[in-house]
Structures are given as C-alpha cells and as structure tokens.
Amino acid sequence: MICKVSQEDIDQVEGIFAQYPKSFNPLGIKKLREEIEEYVEESVSLEVKGFFVEKEGTQVIGLIGYVMRPSNEYEITWLAVRPDWQRRGIGKRLLEYVEHQLKNFRSEWLMLEVPNDPATMNFYSAMGFSEEPSELSSKNKVIYKKKLLAFKPTFKAGISGDGLWR
C-alpha cells in the first residue's frame, strides 16, 4: 500500500537508506530525516513537495520523495527500497505513483540525479528516463529526465481551401 509518509515511518525510512552506504552517507540520511520531519510537521502542499512510502502492514519497504524546482519541473530527491524487497516492482510502483500525482499538477518534466552505476541507470532507463547532458553531471552523478506531459496545440496552422494561411 502506498501512502504519505508519517512521523511513525521515519526511523524505518532512515534504516532503509542506511543500508546503502555507497549512495547515502550519514550526513545525507540526516538531511533526509530533517526533510521528512519538516514535511510532516508543516503539512507542505503536494504540489510543492511529497514523500510517499510503500508499506507491507506496518513495515515500510520503500520511500520516494520529490520537490518542485523553480523551472516548474519536478525532481525525484529520494528513492530507495529495502534490499530484501528489491526486484519485486516496489521502486517502479512508487515512481509510477509519483508520476501520476505530478501529471495532475500539469508538470511537463521529471528529473533526477542518478548515481553513475549500471544497475541504477538501467532502472531509470527502463522507466522511460534518458540521460540529459548537463553541467551538473559529474563522474559520480548523471542527470536523467523524463517527459511527463506532451502538450498538444489546440489548432493546426496551414493553408485552407481558399488559399489563405490559417
């Protein structure tokens, strides 16, 4: 079951991210905790920021977080699934859930910084993201983007039967 993160979930979420020391150092995990606590306490609008967990009963098995950027695109800021629950579609389900939420806000783009490792890059590629050349990319991180909404013009320009451009 996917739901908004609660205060009771924070210790379990922290435990999940701590199991990935190559990707999430103690300072980063502390920042995650602070962001979630602020989010829960201030009841931030989902249009600005969101944190969702996948649960099996009362057990948290994954978390995803996002934030709106000034360019009106959204960034996935946090995503992890417990190692013993990986390869069961949990990460995919969390990502699809957030994508659905963001489409409701008419967001056109979703982006994230991806650790430069093949498994992570393959996951996001399979989810429809593509590498975005950027000055923000480094040897350790790569920027990935995905188009969420394709805006269609409401009219078609062309020449009508009377020869006038319309």
What sign has the CA pseudo-torsion 116, 117, 118, 121? negative
51-96 tens-digit pLDDT: 999 999 999 999 999 999 887 789 999 999 999 999 999 999 999 9
Q: How many CB atoms lie within 10 A of CB 155?
A: 6
136-157 tens-digit pLDDT: 545 567 888 898 876 544 444 5
104-114 tens-digit pLDDT: 888 888 999 88
| Domains in the chain: boundaries | 2-147
Report CA-CA distances (Å) from 127 to 97, 113, 135: 12, 14, 23
Contacts of 96 (CB under 8 A, 6+ apart): none
What pLDDT does 155 receive? 47
**2-147 fold:** Aminopeptidase (3.40.630)
What pLDDT does 80 receive? 95
